[in-house]
């Protein structure tokens, strides 16, 4: 009788231990499945599809903070290219200036008004002058808002008889604004000034 009771007690403890192990394994497996599902949902939410020429292309969403330095530099680059790229075509120049002024505040408008009042743009058209700009570097401090920046580049001014290379150094600040069709990056250039714009070389054509 005593031996039979021991067997029952041993069997009960075995079943108890098995039940504990089973519940633990089941809980761990359930937690892993739930984590995997949540991770998959999060990954899928980060995916977007862009329709290009009738084809769906997969893209991935990212937090704005991850792209601020890249977007800030591109915003500054785009502004300077619109503002300083000129040709003997008055409509081309006006279109570029209009796009540039969407990306900056009154400081850029004031610089444009000063150039216009000095007949700079009319002289470009009448003198068959072309002007392009190349970017050397763009420094942006994204640690403090508004973000301060400094732009380094070169202007190439092509006249009928000469080509002049000028240095261009400007600085200003970037403020966050809402994105729009005219301002895709969602930044506004403020307190923009030209620090240097000196002739580097001139050669005959």
- Angle subtended at Cα 164 by Cα 153 and Cα 106, rounded to the nearest 5 degrees: 50
Question: Torsion angle, CA of 176/177/180/182, rounded to 10 degrees?
Answer: -80
Contact 204, 190 (CB under 8 A): no
Options 3.40.50.1820, 3.40.50.2000, 3.10.450.230, 2.60.120.280; CATH for 64-204 is 3.10.450.230
- What are the extents of the domains in the chain? 2-49, 64-204
pLDDT number for residue 124: 96
Q: What is the pLDDT of residue 29?
A: 74
> Would you state the pLDDT for residue 49?
55
Predicted confidence pLDDT, tens digits, the chain (205 residues): 545 545 666 666 767 677 777 777 778 877 777 777 666 656 555 555 555 555 555 555 555 566 899 999 999 999 999 999 999 999 999 999 999 999 999 999 999 999 999 999 999 999 999 999 999 999 999 999 999 999 999 999 999 999 999 999 999 999 999 999 999 999 999 999 999 999 999 999 9
Taking phi over 0 as left and psi of -120 to 50 as alpha, with beta for the rest, 122 belongs to alpha
**How many angstroms from the chain centroid is the CA of residue 21?**
52
């Amino acid at each position: 009788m005593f031996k039979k009771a021991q067997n029952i007690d041993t069997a009960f403890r075995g079943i108890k231990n098995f039940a504990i192990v089973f519940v633990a394994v089941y809980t761990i497996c359930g937690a892993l499945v739930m984590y995997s599902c949540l991770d998959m949902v999060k990954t899928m939410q980060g995916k977007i599809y862009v329709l290009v020429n009738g084809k769906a292309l997969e893209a991935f969403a990212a937090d704005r903070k991850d792209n601020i330095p890249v977007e800030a530099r591109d915003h500054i680059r785009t502004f300077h290219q619109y503002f300083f790229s000129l040709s003997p075509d008055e409509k081309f120049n006006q279109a570029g200036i209009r796009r540039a002024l969407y990306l900056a505040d009154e400081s850029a408008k004031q610089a444009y008004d000063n150039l216009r009042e000095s007949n700079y743009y009319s002289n470009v058209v009448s003198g068959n002058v072309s002007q392009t700009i190349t970017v050397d570097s763009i420094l942006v401090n994204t640690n403090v808002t508004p973000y301060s920046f400094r732009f380094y580049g070169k202007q190439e001014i092509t006249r009928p008889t000469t080509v002049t290379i000028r240095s261009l150094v400007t600085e200003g600040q970037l403020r966050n604004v809402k994105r729009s069709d005219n301002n895709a990056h969602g930044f506004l250039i403020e307190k923009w000034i030209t620090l240097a714009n000196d002739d580097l070389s001139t050669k005959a054509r």
